């Protein structure tokens, strides 16, 4: 089984924390590239540290002496969409879990939190396009469909986030909360197009990059015969100190470029490694704290 039941048990205790990002996304929390329209107040919920202070209903505070924020109809109706990379490059493990397993657990974690709040979530696996889709629904049975899909999935094909996002966003009918999990190892031009497409169709969006520590630090010695997991091509390389230094610089530059694109689009970006505890990573994402850069 790909998804760790113990991880889900840990998430069962997160109901209060999960409200902040998964259930009640605050109006104005995302720097949208679109101009919005008027929205009506739906109800209220308790204020939590980190919420938009301007959303506090002071009249209600005067009556109850407790802090509540106004919850808007657009916010209440957000649907979570989870896109999980199942390309060949995700079938890699050296210093931790397989990248796919790690990303799949995080994807299941977000779906689990949505179900806990009885909110709709949809999901899809992608590589060079959308491979499998689960339409948005809200039920435990729906969650177990995602678990089954993850368990029987195979990691194959090249990654094409641009094409995958274009295919998936055609099915998004309402402003949504979009989560994409991938190693994002593909040309930056394709990623840029995909990020702005995601921003266009979302109220809030998160990109979570999953990398293996071994592919970052090149934990090999001297001559190595590398295989491109997506093209199956081989290349023999001598891993000199200079080569490793240049390689790490390129990795960091790629991550930095993607981070800047996300910043411009108003999309949150996190980069995690597959040797870190799953619970720690998802907590840092939920709480909106940037994970330490590589």
Give domain 5-16+78-286's CATH superfamily: von Willebrand factor, type A domain (3.40.50.410)
Q: Are the C-beta atoms of 254 and 193 separated by less than 8 Å?
A: no
User: What is the average pLDDT score of the chain?
Assistant: 80
Provide the residue ranges of all domains of the chain, joining segments of one domain with +.
5-16+78-286, 28-74
Identify the CA nearest to 110 among candidates 274, 285, 269, 266: 285
pLDDT, position 217? 75
Tokens matching residue 210: 């999953």
Is residue 105 scored above 60 in pLDDT? yes
pLDDT, position 21? 45
Q: What is the pLDDT of residues 53-96, one digit of tens each?
A: 788 888 888 888 888 877 654 445 579 999 999 999 999 888 77
pLDDT, position 153? 93
- pTM of the prediction? 0.75
Q: What is the pLDDT of residues 139-168, one digit of tens each?
A: 889 999 999 999 999 999 999 999 999 999
Q: Are the C-beta atoms of 25 and 203 separated by less than 8 Å?
A: yes
Q: What is the pLDDT of residues 179-221, one digit of tens each?
A: 999 999 999 999 999 999 999 888 889 999 999 988 877 665 5
pLDDT, position 263? 92
Residue 128: partners with Cβ closer than 8 Å, 6 or more residues away: 87, 157, 158, 159, 160, 163, 164
Torsion of the alpha carbons at 27, 199, 289 and 26, rounded to the nearest 10: 10
Q: What is the pLDDT of residues 225-275, one digit of tens each?
A: 454 545 556 555 656 677 677 878 888 999 999 999 999 999 999 999 999
């Amino acid at each position: 089984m790909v998804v760790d039941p113990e991880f889900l048990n840990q998430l069962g205790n997160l109901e209060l924390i999960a409200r902040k990002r998964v259930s009640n996304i605050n109006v104005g929390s995302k720097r949208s590239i679109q101009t919005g329209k008027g929205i009506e107040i739906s109800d209220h919920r308790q204020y939590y540290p980190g919420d938009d202070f301007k959303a506090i209903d002071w009249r209600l505070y005067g009556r109850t002496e407790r802090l509540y924020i106004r919850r808007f109809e657009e916010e209440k109706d957000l649907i979570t969409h989870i896109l999980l990379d199942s390309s060949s490059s995700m079938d890699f493990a050296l210093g931790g879990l397989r990248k796919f397993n790690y990303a799949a657990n995080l994807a299941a974690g977000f779906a689990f939190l949505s179900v806990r709040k009885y909110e709709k979530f949809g999901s899809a696996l992608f590589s060079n396009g959308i491979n499998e889709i689960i339409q948005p629904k809200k039920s435990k049975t729906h969650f177990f469909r995602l678990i089954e899909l993850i368990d029987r999935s195979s990691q194959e094909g090249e990654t094409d986030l641009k094409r995958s996002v274009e295919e998936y966003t055609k099915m998004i009918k309402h402003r949504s909360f979009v989560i994409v999990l991938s190693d994002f190892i593909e040309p930056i031009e394709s990623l840029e197009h995909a990020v702005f497409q995601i921003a266009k169709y979302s109220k809030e969006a998160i990109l979570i990059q999953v990398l293996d520590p071994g592919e970052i630090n090149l934990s090999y010695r001297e001559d190595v015969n590398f295989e491109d997991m997506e093209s199956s091509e081989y290349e023999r390389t001598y891993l000199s100190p200079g080569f490793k230094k240049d390689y790490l610089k390129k990795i960091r530059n790629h991550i930095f470029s993607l981070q800047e694109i996300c910043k411009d689009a108003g999309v949150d970006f996190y980069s995690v490694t597959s040797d870190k505890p799953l619970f720690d990573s998802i907590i840092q994402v939920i709480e909106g704290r940037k994970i330490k850069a590589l």
